[in-house]
């Protein structure tokens, strides 16, 4: 993709690819986005409110709803400033009624609005799952295409911050399991802005996962009009020896591991999926064609995690490209524990990525 | 909560005869659906609304064409009341390409978006927040539209009902919550699982929402109650709960013989058939019995033709399974 010099490298604090790696890398599709010029650095958190503000300014049909998103600016401050700029007719504080939040968003989306609903923690999807599993994704299909549901469900996702088992899960695989939802999980501030623009403008429902562990991370912002199409992975770092596929917080993790591997003389390519639906397997297969080794790093539990889908497609369609088995670094099959020392045991870490990569290279 | 009995009405004889005919069409469509199910031409399930006709037809008469209606899996009457044809509904039930949802929805999901009938929902209670959302949208757009959610007595015990009522009241949304209380949730008497006597109307005061408990078998009563509530909603007065008492003539679904209902209760409600009540009102208004008979004949002919046309319609093209997931018309999930 065309943004190798842009946001992806920034958030992870990792350098871009080696000259050799970059030269060897063939862009899998014509990049629709422009490489960002050196925009001032912003945090991932600020990027969320900036992304929403841009869409609210652009289209009067965009309206936000959620708990504490108004004057309070959101519990993660991801909607800071929106109430002041757009007022109560665009930014709606709701009761603690997750079913009503998603149900109202859906009803409004069916009747001409483009709602952006916030579910404070992705764990709370479980209390409004009917809307995500049965209502929002199926309406168009069940009615033979009569009804369009253009909405975005934003949510804070993922672990690493010690919030315990009910506020730390990475649940993008829940959404992946439902035909009819588009699933987005950016890793950089620029991608937050570019992907949010696509999500809000999409006529399909989009679940937009904002990773809690990335809110404080910094990277280049995005130029005006920045749009990242849904379903285009980015090569966050080019390399030749092993492909490391990540999503959201596991992208900077993979980039940090790639730095250490570079010191060991190994050239790792890091592919940031950016979206699970549409899933850009063309970019993954293209990378594996070059490296012949695939390591998938995901925060979902190994059982049922998105890496299983990626692995199965590569096994199906890229078997002859591989020189080694596909490996996955995923969360363990236990609820997320509270203590740092325990949480690190369960979710992926740079050390686990390194160990897996070294074993894969030695295969 | 106010209780409304048989009121004097502003509805004229001609209009009432039209409402009667529409109820007759629904009644015959439901009978046809029942027979087609028994004949093996309708697969899966049906939840027939024979007996509930006055709620749908009365409400439709009170609404604007651009208002929004959300119904349950027991929703054939709402689809037809809003303008779906018996033919496209029966074709949907019979898995035909000409079905109102291209045979992708089935009996439980009849939808006619172009007529403001925004769906039939099979997860109990799920559509109450959707109706509130459509009402919120109408409010945001300043369109003057109202949204109506029709639901069963059983739906008043699920969380979405309570979430929807609360937020609708807090945001003063132009939405009507119309409970079709047919005394049973599936096979269980609603009274045996509900803390209050009137499952919807008695809950409304907890959300500071005005409620009306009405005779859901009298199309005139329904029309007037919905008119009042819609007027209040359009003028910024917020939501209303209407609990319409009614009774289903068939079992809950499929071939349920409904033996759990006492015979005297069934007999009493059959004496209160909404078509009979409308016929009585027409007679009182001086409408000739021949005119009513003609309406019945037109309804019978329409439904007979609908059955024939639906039977003759082709099955869907198998490739239709892979359309309409996304707004671009397709179902691709990879790039
Ligand atoms: C959430 C949910 N729980 C249970 C069911 C199964 N179910 C379908 S209809 C029904 C009874 C609903 O009763 P009521 O709301 O009174 O509507 P009615 O069928 O009488 O019109 C039940 C339990 C369902 N579809 N959805
Ligand atoms: Mg009932």
Confidence at residue A37, expressed as pLDDT on a 0 to 100 scale: 56
In a domain, A213, yes or no: yes
**Does the pLDDT at position B140 exceed 70?**
yes
| pLDDT for the residue numbered A39 | 78
Q: Which ligand is nearest to the CA of B72?
A: 1
DSSP-assigned states of every residue in A294-325: EEEEEEEETTT-HHHHHHHHHHHHSGGG-SS-
Of A111, A135, A144, the CB nearest to B104: A144
What does each C-alpha distance from A346 to A248, A300, A310, A351, B47 come to in angstroms? Answer: 17, 10, 21, 12, 48
Kindly state whether residues A177 and A47 are assigned to the same domain: yes
For residue B325, tell me if it sits in a domain.
no
B240 lines ligand 1 (CB under 6 A): no
Give the pair of three-digit tokens for residue B81.
């009341």
**Is the same domain home to A78 and A158?**
yes
B contacts of A142 (beta carbons < 8 Å): 101, 104-105, 109, 111, 119
Same domain, A189 and A238: no
Domain range for B264 is 2-313
pLDDT per position as a tens digit, B172-199: 999 999 999 999 999 999 999 999 999 9
Question: End of a domain among A220, A248, A281?
Answer: A220
Hey, are the CB atoms on A100 and B325 less than 8 Å from each other?
no
3-state secondary structure of B174: coil
Sort A199 into a burial class: Cβ within 10 Å, 0-12 / 13-18 / 19+. Answer: buried
Question: Could you report the predicted ipTM of this complex, rounded to two decimals?
Answer: 0.97
Confidence at residue A29, expressed as pLDDT on a 0 to 100 scale:
39
**Number of other CB atoms surrounding residue A66 within 10 Å:** 26
Residue A11 pLDDT greater than 90, yes or no = no
- pLDDT by residue (tens digit) across A126-135? 999 999 999 9
Residue whose entry in the numeric block shows the structure tokens 């149900």: A103
Domain assignment present for residue B160? The answer is: yes
- Specify the pLDDT at position B10: 84
Average pLDDT, chain B: 97
Q: Is residue B152 lining ligand 1, measured as CB closer than 6 Å?
A: yes
Q: Is the CB–ligand 1 distance for residue B186 below 6 Å?
A: yes
Q: Where are the alpha helices (DSSP H) in chain B?
A: 13-38, 53-62, 76-82, 86-93, 127-141, 159-170, 219-234, 263-271, 274-284, 289-312
Q: Give me the domain span that covers residue A239.
A: 234-361
B110 touches chain A (CB under 8 A): no
Domain boundary among the residues A163, A188, A220 is at A220
Q: How many Å is the Cα radius of gyration of chain B? A: 19
- Confirm whether A32 is domain-assigned: no
How many domains in chain A? 2
Shared domain check, A55 and A197? yes
Task: Judge whether A247 lies within some domain.
Answer: yes
CATH of the domain at A158: 3.40.50.970
Residue A18 maps to a domain: no
Same domain, A238 and A216: no
The answer to whether residue A14 sits within a structural domain is no
In a domain, A285, yes or no: yes
Residue B120 within any structural domain of the chain: yes
Instruction: Say if A2 falls within a structural domain.
Output: no
What CATH number has the domain bearing residue A240?
3.40.50.920
Residue A9, pLDDT above cutoff 60: no
Average pLDDT on A259-263 reads: 98
CA atoms within 13 A on the CB side of A269: 33
- A47 and A192, same domain (yes or no): yes
Question: Is pLDDT above 60 for A13?
Answer: no
Question: What pLDDT is stored for residue A17 in this prediction?
Answer: 30
Residue B235 lies in a domain: yes
pLDDT at residue A4 greater than cutoff 90: no
Answer yes or no: is B322 within a domain: no
Whether residue A62 is found in the same domain as residue A208: yes
Residue B1 has pLDDT above 50, yes or no: no
**CB contact, 8 Å: B123 with chain A?**
yes
Q: What CATH code is carried by the domain that includes residue B131?
A: 3.40.50.970
Does one domain contain both A51 and A86?
Answer: yes
Residue B330 domain flag? no
Percent of chain A with pLDDT over 90: 89
A101, part of any domain: yes
Beta bridge partners of B184: B189
From A1-15, B54-68, B244-258, the region with the lowest mean pLDDT: A1-15
**Residue matched to tokens 């909603």:** B233
Question: Does A272 lie in the same domain as A164?
Answer: no
Question: Is residue A239 domain-shared with residue A197, that is, in the same domain?
Answer: no
Question: Residues B71-93: what's their mean pLDDT?
Answer: 98
Q: Give the mean pLDDT of A188-217.
A: 98
Q: Verify that A170 and A199 share a domain, yes or no.
A: yes
Is the minimum distance from the CB of B122 to ligand 1 under 6 angstroms? yes
pLDDT at res. A16: 31
Residue B91 · residue A122 · CB < 8 Å: no
Question: How far is it, in rounded angstroms, from Cα A276 to Cα A49?
Answer: 23
End residue of a domain, out of A188, A220, A252: A220
Task: Tell me, yes or no, whether A93 and A209 share the same domain.
Answer: yes
Residues whose CB is less than 8 angstroms from the CB of residue B30 and which lie 6 or more positions away in sequence, other chains included:
B48, B49, B50, B76, B77, B250
Shortest Cα distance, chain A CAs vs residue B178, angstroms = 17
The partner residue sitting opposite A108, judged by closest CB among B109, B128, B136, is: B136
pLDDT at res. B8? 53
Contact B134, B174 (CB under 8 A): no
How far apart are the C-alpha atoms of A189 and A363, rounded to whole Å? 36
Quick check: B315 pLDDT over 50? yes
A&B contacts, CB < 8 Å: 162
Task: Answer yes or no: are the C-beta atoms of B125 and B159 closer than 8 Å.
Answer: yes
């Amino acid at each position: 993709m065309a943004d190798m010099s842009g946001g992806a490298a920034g958030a992870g604090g990792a350098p871009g690819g080696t000259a050799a790696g970059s030269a060897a890398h063939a862009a899998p599709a014509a990049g629709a986005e422009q490489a960002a010029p050196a925009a001032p650095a912003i945090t991932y958190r600020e990027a969320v409110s900036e992304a929403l503000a841009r869409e609210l300014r652009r289209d009067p049909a965009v309206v936000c709803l959620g708990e504490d998103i108004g004057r309070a600016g959101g519990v993660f401050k991801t909607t800071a400033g929106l109430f002041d700029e757009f007022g109560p007719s665009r930014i709606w504080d709701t009761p603690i009624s997750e079913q009503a939040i998603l149900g109202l968003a859906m009803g409004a989306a069916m009747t001409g609005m483009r709602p952006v609903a916030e579910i404070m923690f992705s764990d709370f999807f479980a209390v409004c799952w009917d809307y995500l599993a049965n209502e929002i994704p199926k309406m168009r299909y069940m009615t033979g295409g009569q009804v369009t549901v253009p909405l975005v469900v934003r949510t804070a996702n993922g672990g690493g911050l010690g919030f315990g088992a009910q506020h730390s899960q990475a649940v993008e695989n829940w959404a992946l399991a439902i035909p009819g939802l588009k699933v987005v999980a950016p890793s950089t501030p620029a991608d937050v802005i570019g992907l949010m623009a696509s999500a809000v403008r999409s006529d399909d429902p989009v679940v937009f996962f904002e990773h809690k562990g990335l809110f404080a991370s910094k990277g280049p912002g995005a130029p005006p009009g920045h749009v990242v199409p849904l379903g285009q992975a980015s090569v966050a770092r080019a390399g030749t020896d092993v492909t490391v596929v990540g999503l959201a917080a596991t992208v900077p993790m993979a980039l940090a591991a790639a730095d250490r591997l570079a010191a060991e003389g190994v050239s790792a390519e890091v592919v940031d999926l950016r979206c699970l639906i549409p899933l850009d397997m063309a970019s993954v297969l293209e990378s594996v064609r070059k490296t012949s080794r695939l390591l998938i790093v995901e925060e979902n539990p190994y059982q049922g995690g998105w890496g299983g889908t990626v692995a199965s497609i590569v096994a199906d369609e890229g078997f002859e490209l591989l020189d080694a088995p596909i490996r996955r670094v995923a969360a363990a099959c236990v609820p997320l524990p509270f203590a740092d020392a325990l949480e690190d045991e369960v979710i992926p870490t740079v050390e686990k990525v390194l160990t897996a990569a070294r074993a894969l290279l030695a295969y | 909560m106010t209780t409304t009995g048989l009121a004097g009405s502003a509805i004229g004889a001609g209009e009432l005869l039209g409402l009667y005919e529409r109820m007759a069409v629904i009644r015959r469509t439901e009978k046809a659906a029942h027979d087609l199910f028994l004949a093996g031409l309708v697969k899966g399930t049906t939840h027939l609304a024979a007996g509930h006709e006055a709620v749908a037809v009365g409400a439709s008469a009170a609404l604007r064409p651009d208002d929004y209606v959300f119904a349950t899996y027991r929703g054939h009457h709402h689809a037809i009341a809003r303008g779906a044809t018996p033919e496209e509904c029966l074709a949907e039930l019979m898995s035909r390409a000409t079905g109102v949802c291209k045979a992708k929805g089935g009996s439980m999901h009849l939808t006619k978006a172009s007529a403001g009938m925004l769906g039939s929902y099979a997860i109990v209670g799920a559509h109450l927040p959707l109706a509130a959302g459509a009402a919120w949208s109408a409010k945001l757009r300043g369109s003057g539209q109202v949204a109506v959610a029709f639901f069963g007595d059983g739906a008043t015990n699920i969380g979405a009902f309570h979430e929807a009522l609360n937020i609708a009241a807090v945001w003063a949304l132009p939405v009507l919550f119309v409970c079709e209380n047919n005394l049973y949730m599936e096979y269980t008497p609603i009274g045996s699982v509900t803390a209050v006597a009137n499952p919807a109307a008695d809950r409304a005061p907890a959300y500071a929402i005005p409620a009306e408990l009405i005779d859901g078998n009298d199309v005139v009563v329904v029309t007037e109650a919905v008119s009042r509530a819609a007027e209040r909603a359009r003028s910024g007065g917020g939501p209303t709960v209407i609990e319409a008492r009614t009774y289903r003539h068939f079992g809950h679904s499929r071939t349920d013989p409904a033996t759990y209902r006492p015979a005297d209760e069934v007999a009493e409600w059959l004496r209160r058939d909404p078509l009979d009540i409308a016929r009585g009102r027409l007679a009182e208004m001086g409408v000739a019995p021949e005119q009513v008979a003609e309406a019945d004949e037109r309804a019978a002919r329409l439904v007979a033709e609908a059955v024939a046309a639906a039977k003759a319609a082709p099955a869907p093209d198998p490739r239709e399974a892979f359309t309409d997931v996304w707004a671009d018309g397709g179902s691709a999930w990879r790039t």
